[in-house]
């Protein structure tokens, strides 16, 4: 696996080694030792989640606060998404900045988002199956969110705004200035 740190400290793009032959392909999607060596920290994933969505669905931007903060390792099993992380760590030099990456079933890239970040994704293909590991269990009382179109963060979703499909809950999330603090 190849680990590439982004401009947001602690966020990594992970490119697996894919072995192709006339039968198809094989890849190791996760190896605890390789992963921890690649990101330079210990991590223990405790929950796997999977979602299926159609084109234009925007899920996010979500995060967990305090003792329930979550790191995530995300990938696409089918389709294509624009995946976005926003640094919410108040003491970080990249506080309020975002990073976007296109994840596809074809490119097989993964994206690691450490604790202290909001996360969301937009489906670019007709459908997409999104899979992610979390290092902490979900806790409803600790959930936080950031509105997808916050002018301060200024995310380019690369999609017509009037065609986005966003849940009612995600449409009323606060701006960065008013968002719940992660710690």
Catalytic site residue 119? no
Query: Domain residue spans in the chain?
Result: 43-171
* Active-site option among 25, 62, 63, 95: 62
Catalytic site residue 20? no
* Active-site option among 63, 99, 119, 132: 132
Contact between 74 and 122 under an 8 Å Cβ cutoff? The reply is no
So what's the pLDDT on residue 4? 97
- Record the pTM: 0.94
- Cβ neighbors of 64 (< 8 A, separation 6 or more) are 70, 136, 138, 139, 142, 143, 144
So what's the pLDDT on residue 183? 86
State mean pLDDT over 101-119: 98
So what's the pLDDT on residue 76? 98
What are the angstrom distances between the C-alpha of 95 and each of 125, 132, 175?
30, 24, 14
- Please write the tens of the pLDDT for every residue from 13-70: 999 998 989 999 898 899 999 999 999 999 999 999 999 999 999 999 999 999 999 9
CATH architecture of 43-171: Sandwich (2.60)
State mean pLDDT over 106-133: 98
């Amino acid at each position: 696996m190849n680990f590439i740190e982004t401009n947001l400290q602690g966020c990594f793009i992970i490119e697996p080694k894919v072995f192709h032959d006339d039968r198809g392909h094989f890849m190791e999607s996760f190896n605890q030792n390789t992963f921890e060596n690649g990101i330079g920290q210990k991590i223990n994933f405790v929950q796997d989640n999977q979602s299926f969505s159609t084109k234009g669905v925007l899920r996010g931007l979500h995060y967990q606060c305090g003792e329930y903060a979550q790191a995530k390792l995300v990938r696409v099993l089918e389709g294509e998404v624009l995946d976005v992380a926003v640094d919410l760590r108040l003491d970080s030099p990249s506080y309020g900045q975002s990073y976007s990456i296109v994840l596809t079933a074809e490119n097989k890239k993964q994206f690691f988002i450490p604790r202290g970040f909001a996360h969301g994704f937009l489906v670019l293909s007709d459908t997409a199956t999104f899979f992610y590991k979390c290092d902490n269990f979900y806790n409803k009382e600790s959930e936080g969110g950031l509105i997808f179109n916050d002018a301060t963060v200024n995310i380019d979703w690369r999609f017509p705004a009037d065609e986005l499909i966003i849940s009612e809950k995600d449409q009323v999330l606060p701006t960065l200035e008013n968002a719940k603090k992660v710690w």
